[in-house]
Amino acid sequence: MLISAMNNSLSAMNAFSTGVHGSAYNLANVNTAGFNPVAVHYASGPSSSSGTETGVRPVVSRPVSAPAETGRVFGPSRTDVAREMVNLSVNQNAFDANAQVIRASDEMLGTLVDMIV
């Protein structure tokens, strides 16, 4: 039970870390003309065909842009700064919450081992 909680929290921390990277990438390119931001969504459940790996995993997608025409100037970036700042905050809080689950599981596991030994 404790090990699976730690494993699920670790996979969620990795996923939310990818979300932070996606938002940072979008914000870094906010002034890039014609930039299409990436979107990070999350999926849970078995990630392999055997169904043994569970947890949260990131799904990164990029909107398909219109084909570039030669001689045309690209439009402004499609990055929404307000949305990306909210995404950063949500991902950071979710990362911190999962880190707390790992800390609590580690503490409970340590107490259990101390009781046995």
User: Is 71 among the domain residues?
Assistant: no
Q: Which domain holds residue 43?
A: 2-64+77-116
- pLDDT tens sequence across 37-91: 999 999 887 666 665 566 788 888 887 655 555 445 567 888 999 999 999 999 9
Taking every pair of Cα atoms in the chain, the longest distance, rounded to a whole number of angstroms, is 75
Q: Considering only CA atoms, which of 102, 76, 95, 100 is closest in space to residue 23?
A: 95
User: Is 97 among the domain residues?
Assistant: yes
| Structural domains in the chain (count) | 1
User: Is 70 among the domain residues?
Assistant: no
Give me the pLDDT at residue 44, please.
83
The alpha carbon of 114 is separated from its chain's Cα centroid by a whole number of angstroms, namely 35
User: Is 8 among the domain residues?
Assistant: yes
Distance CA 33, CA 26 (A): 12
- pLDDT tens sequence across 17-43: 999 999 999 999 999 988 889 999 998
Put simply, whether the predicted model's pTM sits higher than 0.75 gets the answer yes
User: Is 72 among the domain residues?
Assistant: no
